Amino acid sequence: MKITSPQFDEDEIKLLRQCLDSGWVTQGALTRQFEELFGNRHSVRYALATTSCTAALHLATMALGLGPGDEVIVPAFTWITSAHSVEYTGARAVFVDIEPETFNICPEKLEMAITPNSKAVVVVHLFGLSAKMDEILNIAQRHNLFVIEDAACAVGSHYDGKPVGGIGHIGCFSFHPRKVITTGEGGMVTTNSEDYAKAINSLRNHGAAGMPKYSQRPYTMATFDKIGYNLRLSDIQAAVGVAQMSKLDRLLNERKLLAERYNQILADIDEIALPYVPNKCAHTYQAYVIRILSGGMSERNKIMDYLESLNIETRPGTHAVHRLGYYAKKYNIKPEQYPVAALCEDTTITLPLFPGMTQEQQLYVAEGIKKTLLL
């Protein structure tokens, strides 16, 4: 049983054929349509498609002007690019521990980490659960920090009724195959700022400043006054994205129902903690992640090994990034400095959850966990 599986049908095939038949396979009408659909769904003025969420995060840090001497606060439990995007600019990623119940950044510890060099915070809506944005925004406003929403897992999620990605200064999304909707690879940057949108649009397109308004002849070329990158999504990928957007609400509803069923059939297992959704927050269940409450990593690994023997795929939740070699060596970080993140890396299990998953399959996963705990 796979941990997840994207869902495609004739909708994607039809739009792919339309794209290929048109002969216009990049920077065309389908990319603009995908961006418009995504922006409308997330209630933002601007949505700009990119090659990945990593690219989106990199563009966000550059658009905000982050660089050497700046500190950017990042949760210690997240995928590595939440921190890498900061380091790309020459700024320093400063880690903060998380809440064990939500796996998201702890607001109190966030405020304690702020220094005169702090310029921004990367708020990760991990596994699709929106972070506590009211508390985070209050802290950011008091200390004049930019807020980047790493919403890689949170397409369609919201906080207090407002879609994520438009709550902070810039939002970043992923369309990797493990996400709620996918374009194979791909990402999106969202913002309500015209200035940030213009900067991101230029940076994703080699740094192009556009055509001079006074002369747009066949021999006129764009001007380039700064270094940029080629981080544009193709129309081929956007065609898949347009089709996937038409399925978004159905996919989100199905994931929520599957998560609720897991909650019911796993409720009597005292040795695990189930996903927790605080007041005002919402969860896409891009990943359904449980935490082992006793026995530590050895007990967690025993469960994962046994599930593998049953042909059930699992994964740890994600990394405790401060324990990875680059950050541990560069900043001399000890594993015990962020104990909750370390504990969650060692004791979390991502269970299979995908469109079309049956009750029998979920019961099979649950029985596998229960049997392991009896061994």
Under 8 Å between Cβ of 128 and 180 = yes
Secondary structure (DSSP) of 170-209: EEEEE--TTSSS--SS-EEEEES-HHHHHHHHHHTBTTB-
Instruction: State the pTM of this model.
Output: 0.96
Mean pLDDT, residues 91-101: 98
Tell me the pLDDT band of 212, cut-offs 50, 70 and 90.
low
Query: Chain centroid to CA 78: how far?
Result: 9
Distance CA 265, CA 259 (A): 10
Three-state SS at 148 = strand
Type of residue at 373: L
**For residue 214, pLDDT beyond 80:** no
Distance CA 147, CA 227 (A): 24
Lowest mean pLDDT among 199-213, 239-253, 339-353: 199-213
Give the tens place of pLDDT for each residue, 23-35.
999 989 999 999 9
Mean pLDDT, residues 210-230: 77
pLDDT reported for residue 374: 78
Give the tens place of pLDDT for each residue, 50-73.
999 999 999 999 999 999 999 999
Distance CA 234, CA 154 (A): 22
pLDDT reported for residue 222: 84
Give the tens place of pLDDT for each residue, 281-340.
999 999 999 999 999 999 999 999 999 999 999 999 999 999 999 999 999 999 999 999
Q: Using alpha carbons only, what angle is made at residue 195 by residues 204 and 89, rounded to the nearest 5 degrees? A: 50
The enclosing H or E element of 300 equals: helix 296-309
Give the tens place of pLDDT for each residue, 245-291.
999 999 999 999 999 999 999 999 999 999 999 999 999 999 999 99
Mean pLDDT, residues 118-125: 98
pLDDT reported for residue 361: 98
Give the tens place of pLDDT for each residue, 2-49.
999 999 999 999 999 999 999 999 989 999 999 999 999 999 999 999
Instruction: For the chain, give the mean pLDDT.
Output: 96
Type of residue at 304: M
Distance CA 319, CA 212 (A): 47
Domains along the chain with CATH numbers: 10-245 (3.40.640.10), 248-374 (3.90.1150.10)
